[in-house]
Structure 1
């Protein structure tokens, strides 16, 4: 849509599973919030799905979308008022109108991997240690020898000094991030009978695994479109989409904490000799202690990202239904009357 419609910008600012895209039409405005939280001030357009105004379309399976039309400028405001001031995206889902005679059954599947890209380059343990010593260059006396700077920087943290001298370097990216994946399986059944009844039925299962543990989304969708041409003048139909979303919400702070921590620290606790107890996470925010409670490293208050991930798992299960039913009377080829009943449910 971005490449084919002038003035439409689509972006994604997060790698979290299930997060949708931000759509901006003709620049930022200030009346409608982000699609994930409409109460916030932002520039998200209004979505209209099969005649029903919506705040977003993340619940739809992409395979169910037949076409998308964009209303911009005064055309959207004239129809939808202030809600359309940021533009309107009209989404039409598949119905039975385009179904061919007989029965057609198709199955589509897709799979993709996700990896974190364009991450900032972090300092190595050696670089961080030199950077850390710079903070003490202004200490009294004003001129410090390298050994004096190292002593000041490592004061009360002999383990930190030991790691710096041994070339220790911990990769927080590798500890926090994992490979993600997306998968979409879709079964479609469509057809048209001699009696004038046409139908389109779709079943979809989507999975999205994020770049951090405990971050995942599973989406199950059912799509039903029925159209019946009673005779040359009367026709009726129904279009219903039902979606079930199971979201596992992981930590939204783990990566931020990983950016803050020194490469001379790791997420693991230590024994009395300062050896890492791999598999046992330290608990106090950024303050590594020996088993007797004395400080091993006391340089930051940043939370252990792996501890944050392990304690930030919660699930959110929602149902979303949108649909319409219509009855149409066409007395002349160039004149028709259509009445439509629309419904929307979210729980």
Structure 2
């Protein structure tokens, strides 16, 4: 009885032992037979985001044996080495991060001699820089196959083919998009656009050849205000970047304008002295616009930071415009003081590019 029991235990172990998975390591090498011409990137980081990265799947071998598959030196290192070993060197290399979303292989045993399987791949590519990586594109594919149960080496070929296909895809994607995709821009060129805009009853654009007149003040006077006239001036920045031979071109227009529908004058305030004072408010805004243009031209921009740098310069100038308007009114007592003549001179000089007095007034404040 004891012998029978012992024999049954051994038989049970023999039956289940083949089902216990063993391990086999495969190596990712390089694109077979050639070195690819690099389209201008280097894979600097591979992050494996799979839940179970210890193994990429299981395959069958003889006698119903199941092997867990691992990539030598980890999936991340294996893919990184494969890419870099397969590409020629490039003078302008973009730093690329890959995130492995899926890299798994699964098999079914069709018979005692044949296994069928599928490799599933999903890689996400990101451009690395000084800030958070920027998503570029995803690669998703699958390879199905059948093989002799004895040829586990064919699985290694499938793995290498899958990674090779992803590399060819991404290398071609970079080549096709390098000159037109803003994310891939190597440099940036700022262009200041100056347009002559036509004024109408809704908006009067600053024009040195077209001074203001009282017909530009269309709003009803504010009964609670002690002022004889009020003008609403402002500045805006517009631009639509585009790609040109791999360079990001940023055309910017600085618009200086006043709004007739938000500007008003009392009948008793319609005189040349008051009109000059309001015109000078318009001049202040033009001067700040000119100063903004100079600031923009002095910026050291790159494709990563240009939006933040340009917007920061604009908002700084917008705040400067409000400060300088307040200083101008405070110094001239809203046009009621003889200091108006001094400010006429200061503003005329500033309109001609001489900013020393303006700088002093901004430092002194109100």
Structure ID, larger Rg = 2
Normalising by the smaller structure, the TM-score range is under 0.3
The TM-score with structure 1 as length reference comes to 0.21
The TM-score with structure 2 as length reference comes to 0.21
Greater strand share, structure number: 1
Greater helix share, structure number: 2
